[in-house]
């Protein structure tokens, strides 16, 4: 199995966790949702670290993916900042939900850019 397939599977796993957290926004806070957020944070931190060290380091050396890799590294910085802010904020108040939705949009845009642009360039 190649790295693109592994990263796509990881993207699907992250999407599922996001959906599970968001499903509960119309209900009272639960320990399960806190657990899901901790899992999401761990998964995203591991995912970004692996990409930073193993994927983008290589992509930065290629002229066709250099700019994409730079943008992806910036997105990872924003993702990690939002994760840290969410971790210390009171969970599931209106501000937390808005920040969580911002994180989700950022991650979804990042995934789309990887899968629809960067990964395709590696196969050409």
pLDDT tens digits, 15-67: 999 999 998 787 777 788 889 999 999 999 999 998 898 888 888 888 888 88
Alpha-carbon distances, residue 7 vs 11, 62, 99, 115 (angstroms): 6, 19, 25, 9
User: Do 120 and 2 form a contact (C-beta atoms < 8 A)?
Assistant: no
pTM attached to this predicted model: 0.88
**Residue-level pLDDT at 119:** 72
Phi, psi of 63 (to 5 degrees): -60, -35
């Amino acid at each position: 199995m190649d790295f693109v397939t592994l990263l796509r599977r990881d993207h699907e796993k992250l999407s599922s966790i996001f959906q599970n957290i968001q499903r509960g926004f119309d209900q009272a806070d639960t320990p399960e949702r806190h657990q899901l957020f901790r899992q999401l944070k761990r998964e995203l931190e591991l995912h970004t670290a692996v990409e930073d060290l193993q994927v983008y380091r290589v992509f930065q050396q290629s002229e066709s993916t250099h700019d994409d890799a730079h943008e992806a590294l910036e997105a990872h910085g924003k993702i990690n900042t939002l994760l840290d802010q969410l971790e210390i904020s009171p969970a599931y108040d209106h501000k937390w939900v808005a920040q969580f939705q911002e994180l989700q949009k950022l991650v979804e845009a990042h995934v789309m850019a990887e899968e629809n642009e960067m990964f395709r360039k590696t196969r050409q």
